[in-house]
Chain A
Amino acid sequence: MTDKPMVSAQAVCKNFGALEVLKGVTLEVQPREVLCMVGPSGSGKSTFLRCINHLEQVNAGRLYVDGVLVGYAERGGKLHELQPREAAKQRRDIGMVFQHFNLFPHMTALENVIEAPIRVKKRHKDEVVESARKLLDRVGLADKEKTYPAQLSGGQQQRVAIARALAMDPKLMLFDEPTSALDPELVGEVLDVMRQLAFDGMTMIVVTHEMGFAREVADQMVFMDGGLVVESGPPREVLANPQRERTKAFLSKVL
């Protein structure tokens, strides 16, 4: 559709001290595309996700979101670390959903959703509340706007977290194992919301262990191991006909 990818990673490396977590990840995500990342724990999936919105700083390689270099400014052939203000500005357009929801416990569901649009984007409160109510309705929680997170089930909390991220009108949504902390019967309600989001054309990168969801929703699937992309392609192909031994071994355990 367009020649500019939403996310473009070129040999992205990340290390924590001597520990190399990402050893050169290269991939592209086109607008309106859903990418599912799978792989064993410790393979660097979450770290890669966190690099995309600069929660972690990339050590080598280049990472672009919507054509803009993440975390650095390139001036005169040199990379300069970003001012915190500029980094915060980059993050505004990228929504993130965490494994443990990380809702603000001292705020009601509605307050969680309206906080950032009002404080960060300085939008008018009435208008934000109106769109927040629509978002809560969209994730099926219209009746829970006055409820505090501790009084919601895990699945409900995660749906509020999705609404909170959507309230910033992101052009890209990152999901870091969004259903891993949920009871099995609550996983479905969160996946339903994500499925609808993908159907509405949101660009999404999803780190997940839900192979069924990946097969059904993802346009592209990436299998990561040891900080590298081992295999990638359309999910049906990767899942049904893995080429690499490592992928086969992993899939035989989770499928």
Chain B
Amino acid sequence: MTSVKKPPVEPAQAEAIAAVPLRHPWRWIGAAIVLLLAGLFVYGAATNGNYHWDTYRAYLFDRRISTAAWNTLQLTFWAMVIGVTLGVVLAVMRLSPNPVLRSAAWMYLWIFRGTPVYVQLVFWGLFTSLYPHLAFGIPFVHQFAHLNIQTLNAAFFFASLGLGLNEAAYMAEIVRAGITSVPEGQTEAATALGMSWSLTMRRIVLPQAMRVIIPPTGNEVISMLKTTSLVVAVPYTLDLYTTQREIAGVLYRPVPLLLVASTWYLAITSILMIGQHYLERYFARGSSRHLTARQLRELAKAQAQAQGGAGAR
């Protein structure tokens, strides 16, 4: 460095810009109007006796309601577990080079997307009447296990299964859209490295597809939370919607109980949305040129060290 004749280029010192920020008066006016309208609505609702806020308060944390909310959450969870798992399998089948797998997946989608979920749930409720005995074994030859499923209390099981199998058909299309959004070069690069098709799917394609898959899946979870109100078709009656309706029926006051149920649905949805935010952030890693706050800090530190080192020399 010292042998160089030319003087080192000194960074020109310039004053940092302190500009007057752009004002947005209309935003403030708009916000004031919206707040005023919202305030008027809340005041109106609070002073309107027909809402029966005393009943709302009495039942918001009622044991039956919170248990029902927990049941609804469990239903949502199991239905989505079935839906996502089977959905991924179906999507991969639809994109497989194997025509047998492809047609089977297509048939599944055709049937489960083509009939109403309510009808499917009624069907699963009647399953025990259609097939009262299940036998496991080789058809026409030998059965080694018999199960009389009419004796089982299987409403929760069939409700989750019915919702999950229906959901799988929709998830399959979401996952397929995600997979096809990953550029072909990715599969090629993985193949050229000697990776098998399944390894390529698992390690390269699906993690990238997740970015496309998660937002609509978040939609599906939230939608599922509310679709659970249909499980009365099975009939499964311990979910949030059916429970509040039973209480409301006895009290003869539908509005406050509906508000109770809505509050619970809204609370659960909010928690799910927070979860979705973190999931999205995880799978978005590497997708942007923008450096994360931590990376910026590290780079700034490295820059400061480099300058400090140069100055000391």
- The A-contacting residues of B in range 285-301, CB under 8 angstroms, are 285-289, 291, 295
Which single residue of chain A is at the shortest CB-CB distance from B288? A150
B208 adjacent to A105 (CB under 8 Å): yes
A164 at the interface (CB under 8 A from B): yes
CB within 8 Å for A91 and B193 given contacts A106-B207, A151-B291: yes
- Tell me, rounded to whole Å, the shortest Cβ–Cβ distance linking B267 to chain A: 33
A88–B194 touching, CB < 8 Å: yes
Q: Give the distance in Å from the alpha carbon of A104 to the alpha carbon of B291 in the complex.
A: 17
Q: When chains A and B are docked, how far (Å) is the Cα of A191 from the Cα of B141? A: 70
> From B291, which residue of chain A is reached at the shortest CB distance?
A151
Chain A residues with CB below 8 A from B191, complex form: 55, 88, 91
Q: Give Cα A98–Cα B185 distance, bound, in whole angstroms.
A: 9
B177 interface contact, C-beta 8 A: no
Residues in chain B near residue A168, CB distance under 8 A: 193-194
The stretch that binds A, out of B20-28, B111-119, B195-203, B226-234, is B195-203
Asked whether A26 is an interface residue with its Cβ less than 8 Å from the other chain, the reply is no
Query: Provided the pairs A55-B188, A102-B188, A105-B208 are in contact, do residues A120 and B194 lie with their beta carbons within 8 angstroms?
Result: yes
| Binding site secondary structure of chain B | helix
The answer for the CA separation of A161 and B189 in the assembled complex, in Å, is 9
B contact residues around A85 at 8 Å (CB): 196
A15 within 8 A of B: no
Q: A115 to B189: give the CA distance in the assembly, Å.
A: 12
- Complex Cα spacing A149 to B189, Å: 14
User: Which of A95, A108, A119 meets B199, CB within 8 Å?
Assistant: A119
Interface residues on B, range: 20 to 34
In the complex, whether B19 has a CB less than 8 A from a CB of chain A is no
Contact B199 A84 (CB under 8 A): no
Q: Does B192 contact A (CB under 8 A)?
A: yes
Q: Which residues of A contact B285 (CB under 8 A)?
A: 106, 148
Query: B188 touching A106 by the CB < 8 A rule?
Result: no
Point out the residues of chain A lying under 8 angstroms from B192, CB to CB. Answer: 53, 55, 91, 94-96, 165
* A91 and B197 contact, CB distance less than 8 A: no
Asked if A92 lies at the interface with its beta carbon under 8 angstroms from chain B, I say yes
A116 within 8 A of partner (CB): yes
Contact across chains for B196 and A88 when beta carbons are under 8 A apart = yes
Contact B185 A106 (CB under 8 A): no
User: Is B259 an interface position by the 8 A CB rule?
Assistant: no
Q: Is A171 an interface residue (CB 8 A)?
A: no
Cβ of B155: which chain A residues have Cβ within 8 Å of it? none
Chain A 96-122, CB-CB to B under 8 Å as 1, else 0, gives: 101010111111100000011001100
Query: How many residues of A are counted as interface, with CB atoms below 8 angstroms from the partner's CB atoms?
Result: 32
Q: Which residues of B contact A102 (CB under 8 A)?
A: 183, 185-186, 188-189
Say yes or no for B101: interface residue by CB 8 A criterion.
no
Contact of A89 with B by CB under 8 A: yes
When C-beta atoms are compared, the residue in chain A nearest to B198 turns out to be A84
The residues of B that contact A148 with a CB separation of less than 8 Å are 285-286
Residues on the B chain within 8 Å of A115, using CB: 193, 203
Q: How far is the CB of B183 from chain A (nearest CB, A)?
A: 8
Distance of B303 from chain A, by nearest CB (Å): 12
Whole-angstrom distance between the alpha carbons of A85 and B283 in the complex? 30
Nearest CB of chain A from residue B178's CB, rounded to whole Å? 13
Determine if B204 is an interface residue (Cβ-Cβ < 8 Å).
yes
Query: In the bound complex, how far is the Cα of B196 from the Cα of A116, in angstroms?
Result: 11
Given the interface pairs A102-B186, A105-B287, A107-B286, the reply to whether A116 lies near B207 with Cβ below 8 Å is no
Partner of B286, one of A95, A100, A105: A105
Contact mask for chain B residues 259-289; partner A; CB cutoff 8 A; 1 contact, 0 none = 0000000000000000000000001011111
Once A102-B189, A105-B286 are accepted as A-B contacts, the answer to whether A92 and B194 lie under 8 Å apart by CB is yes
Q: Which chain A residues (119-177) contact chain B, with CB distance < 8 Å?
A: 119-120, 148-151, 161, 164-165, 168
Residues of chain B lying within 8 A (CB to CB) of residue A88: 191, 194-196
Q: Which of B162-216 contact A (CB under 8 A)?
A: 183, 185-186, 188-197, 199, 203-204, 207-208
Of B188, B194, B287, B289, which is within 8 A of A98 by CB?
B188
Give the distance in Å from the alpha carbon of A137 to the alpha carbon of B185 in the complex. Answer: 26
Given contacts A106-B207, A106-B208, A150-B289, contact A91 B189 (CB under 8 A): no
Tell me the chain A residues, 2-54 only, with Cβ under 8 Å from chain B. Answer: 53
Of B188, B191, B192, which is in contact with the most chain A CB atoms at under 10 Å from its CB?
B192
* Whole-angstrom CA separation of A41 from B199 in the bound complex: 33
Q: Which of A60-114 contact B (CB under 8 A)?
A: 84-85, 88-89, 91-92, 94-96, 98, 100, 102-108
- A-to-B contact residues, CB < 8 Å: 53, 55, 84-85, 88-89, 91-92, 94-96, 98, 100, 102-108, 115-116, 119-120, 148-151, 161, 164-165, 168
Chain B interfacial positions (CB closer than 8 Å to A): 183, 185-186, 188-197, 199, 203-204, 207-208, 283, 285-289, 291, 295
Interface pairs (26), CB distance under 8 Å: A53-B192, A55-B188, A85-B196, A88-B196, A91-B192, A91-B193, A94-B192, A98-B188, A102-B185, A102-B189, A104-B189, A104-B204, A104-B208, A106-B207, A106-B208, A115-B193, A115-B203, A116-B193, A116-B195, A120-B193, A120-B199, A149-B286, A150-B286, A150-B287, A161-B189, A168-B193
7 closest cross-chain pairs (CB), A and B: A92-B194, A148-B286, A102-B189, A116-B193, A102-B185, A96-B192, A91-B194
